[in-house]
Amino acid sequence: QYLNYMSDIARFNLGYSLAKFPTRVIDIIGPALPWTISLLTVATVMAFLLGSLLGGLIAWDGAPPILRFLLPPLFTFSAIPYYLLGLILIYLFAFKLKWFPLTGGSQILTMPSVSFSYLLELIYHSILPALSIVLASIGFWALSMRGMMITVEGEDYVTLAEAKGLPSGRVFLWYAMRNALLPQTTALALSLGTILSGSLLVEIMFGYPGIGSALFIAITGFDYFVIYGIVFMIVVTIALATLILDLIYPLLDPRIRYQES
């Protein structure tokens, strides 16, 4: 029985939905998974890159002093939960100003042929969910990068690069930022679970047709097989993302090579 169970898991045969029998669990998760992966990938990469760049500039001596005034907002954003920030964005930009839709991933229920107008529709509906994830995450990455840059600025190789008369921008990017990004990348791999759990709450808040909304429907409908399948897919997704980050780590750190000596 255990071997049959492991065989089904390996083939992503997660059983049938109790609430929507005879629909298979994978048929419920499959359409929702691309929505979550695309939203989470774009928002996480944007928050990581913008936060790291902003934190590096705040700590860099040659950066404009006005950037230091961004520290209080960054502290504030890093302390606000994903769902609360999502509620604020919905109230301001969707309910009051009516600049963005309140819920949904697109106004078109069924996916038409790929077109530029449909792509714009998807982007338009994903701006607020992505913005809530970015704003809630960017403070953490900026503050973390600021601490790393303060440490890196005192290293001998940075002092040597400045003594050689290299341009300040080159010293910042290729000597300070590149080395400060190494622990940031490690922190990104370790925080993927937290980011994903926050994005699921954001999807529920915005009615976004991803894994979060599917999980909410399954929980309220006591659909245990779907809940189990979604948790399993979340674990697999985090494991694959961590593996990818581990494989690209040598591109950032030349001292690490995955080969025999």
* SS3 assignment, position 16: strand
Q: Which residues of 87-97 are buried (b: 16+ CB within 10 A; e: fewer)?
A: eebbeebbeee
Q: What gap in Å lies between CA 103 and CA 101, rounded to an integer?
A: 6
Q: What is the mean pLDDT of residues 37-49?
A: 85
Over residues 189-218, the pLDDT tens digits come to 777 777 777 778 888 888 888 888 888 888
- What superfamily does domain 15-108+115-252 belong to in CATH? MetI-like (1.10.3720.10)
Q: What is the pLDDT of residue 115?
A: 65
Q: What gap in Å lies between CA 134 and CA 42, rounded to an integer?
A: 9
Over residues 79-96, the pLDDT tens digits come to 888 788 888 888 888 888
231 pLDDT higher than 80: yes
Q: What is the pLDDT of residue 144?
A: 85
In the chain, the percentage of residues whose pLDDT exceeds 90 is 0
Domain range list for the chain: 15-108+115-252
* 22 cis-preceded (ω within 30 degrees of 0): yes
A 10 A CB-CB count for 113 gives: 5
Q: What gap in Å lies between CA 115 and CA 103, rounded to an integer?
A: 22
Residues 6+ apart with CB under 8 A from 126: 38, 39, 42, 105, 208
CA distances to 78, 131, 194, 214 from 84, in Å: 12, 13, 16, 20
Contact of 17 with 25, CB cutoff 8 Å: yes
Mean per-residue pLDDT of the chain: 81
Q: What gap in Å lies between CA 210 and CA 212, rounded to an integer?
A: 5
Residues 6+ apart with CB under 8 A from 152: 158, 176, 179, 180
Over residues 96-108, the pLDDT tens digits come to 888 877 776 665 5
Contact of 124 with 100, CB cutoff 8 Å: yes
142 pLDDT higher than 80: yes
Q: What is the mean pLDDT of residues 112-123?
A: 68
Contact of 128 with 94, CB cutoff 8 Å: yes
Q: What gap in Å lies between CA 142 and CA 56, rounded to an integer?
A: 7
150 pLDDT higher than 60: yes
Structure-block tokens of residue 201: 């709450």
Contact of 193 with 128, CB cutoff 8 Å: no
Overall size of the chain counted in residues = 261
Over residues 172-196, the pLDDT tens digits come to 888 888 888 888 887 887 777 777 7
Q: What gap in Å lies between CA 64 and CA 68, rounded to an integer?
A: 8
- Residue 111 Rama label (left phi>0; alpha psi -120 to 50; beta): beta
Q: What is the mean pLDDT of residues 135-160?
A: 84
Amino acid at position 134, single letter: V
Q: Exposed, middle or buried, 246 (CB in 10 Å: 0-12/13-18/19+)? A: middle
HSE-up of 52 (CA within 13 Å, CB side)? 20
15 pLDDT higher than 80: yes
Q: What is the pLDDT of residue 256?
A: 66
Q: What is the pTM of this model?
A: 0.80
